[in-house]
Amino acid sequence: MSRYKQRVIAINENLQYLNLFDERGVTSIEQYKTIEKEVFEQEVYDSIPVIKYAWKFGDMYWRLSDRIYGDPQYWWVIASFNKRPTESHNKVGDILRIPIELSDALQVVD
C-alpha cells in the first residue's frame, strides 16, 4: 500500500505560482497536505526508559533495531526518537537514547 494513500490532497491555485502554472499549462496544482503531528515536550521523551548507546563506526539503525527489538523494520523509531533522521546525522561516540519498550516509543514518534 502506498504511504500516500491516506494523505489529504489540496488544490493550490495561489498566484505566487503563476509562472509554474504557465510552464505546465495548468491553472492549479494538486499537492499532498503536510501531516499534522503532535509535538511532545522533552519531559515526555525523558520519562521513557532507555538504553544509552554509543554510536560506533559502521553502525546502522536497522541493525540496532534488529538487536534491541528483534525486528529491523523499527529502525525509524530509533532515528525519530533521537531526532536524527539518518545514520549520517551521527558521529562516532554520539550517545543515542534507545527506548527499551517499543510501545512507549511508538506513542511519541510517528
Same domain for 24 and 78, yes or no, is: no
Segments forming the whole domain that contains residue 66: 42-108
Assess whether pLDDT exceeds 80 at residue 4.
Answer: no
**Nearest alpha carbon to residue 93 among 42, 49, 52, 51:** 52
C-alpha cell at 89: 546525522
14 and 61 part of one domain = no
**Number of C-beta neighbours around residue 94 at 10 A:** 14
81 and 58 in one domain?
yes
| Co-location of 53 and 101 in the same domain | yes
Give the three-state DSSP class for 53.
strand
Task: Please check whether residue 51 is in contact with residue 100, taking contact to mean a CB–CB distance below 8 angstroms.
Answer: yes
pLDDT digits (tens, 9 = 90+) for 59-102: 999 999 999 999 999 999 999 999 999 999 999 999 999 999 99
Tell me the β-bridge partners of 12.
Answer: 29
Q: How many CA atoms lie within 13 A of 36 on its CB side?
A: 1
**Residue 11 or residue 57, greater confidence:** 57
Percent of the chain scoring above 70 in pLDDT: 91
Q: What is the mean pLDDT of the chain?
A: 88
Q: How far apart are CA 93 and CA 107, in angstroms?
A: 28
SS3 label, residue 5: coil
On whether the CB atoms of residues 107 and 77 are closer than 8 A, the answer is no
Q: 3 pLDDT exceeds 80?
A: no
Q: Is the domain of 60 the same as that of 96?
A: yes
pTM: 0.66
pLDDT at 94: 98
104 and 55 co-located in one domain: yes
Q: Identify the pLDDT of residue 2.
A: 65
